[in-house]
Structure 1
Amino acid sequence: MVNIFPRIPFSKFKIGEWGSKIEDKKWISSQPIATTTAAVMQILATVPRLSYCRPNLIKHSQSKFILRDGTVVKTWTSPFLRDDYIFLADSDGKMIYGGYVWRYKEQLKDAIELISSRFT
């Protein structure tokens, strides 16, 4: 059998971005994080077991309210696992922050109410 493919040294291979990484990139905000948004992120950090989520899931979310600095707070509940998601998005709808909880939904709802009362 004849090898029709030329030998390529291993050092010539480049690892590129593909698949989900490219998909995720178009949903991530490049805007700097404002102080109001940073304070909201600190409140969200107090929610137990709040895990980061994939940026492309923001496309399923609905706007809840807008913060003083123009950041949009969005939420979504997964129809399959019933996870509750929260997103902070810039004015273009791109994700600044995204997280989800499965077990501590009440704490997330309390945090969202606190954010709404303090920062809108």
Structure 2
Amino acid sequence: MSLTDPIGDMLTRIRNAQMRRKNSVTTPASNIRGRVLDVLQSEGFIRGYSEVKFENGAAEYEIELKYSENDPVIREIQRVSRPGRRVYASVRNIPSVANGLGVSILSTPKGVMADHEARAANVGGEVLCRVF
């Protein structure tokens, strides 16, 4: 199966698993997905993730979802920049999510990072998604 938007696919898998109150969800492994998961883990939106390798060389990430009092920690996860419409932000125009309670995840020349890290590093980039 050919995927044109692997990040969007991963975010949809997370969203669907949380609606069904699953403890974990799997997604195919890639470098960009791993960096986005690193940001989600460091910001406290997921418990963690691990890489599972198969005999044929393929790999998957198993993502452990996080709940607080039976409610998902991630209330909203939304793809911003899509393959058909790329969205870029300079350091002065990085969007704030829910007055700082949420996070915008950016792909910058210094790597994938949260919006507050990008402001501190004084870099802009492509806005991949926003999490609240």
TM-score (norm 2): 0.28
TM-score (norm 1): 0.29
Give the number of the structure whose alpha-carbon radius of gyration is greater.
1
Greater RCO (CA < 8 Å, at least 6 residues apart): 1
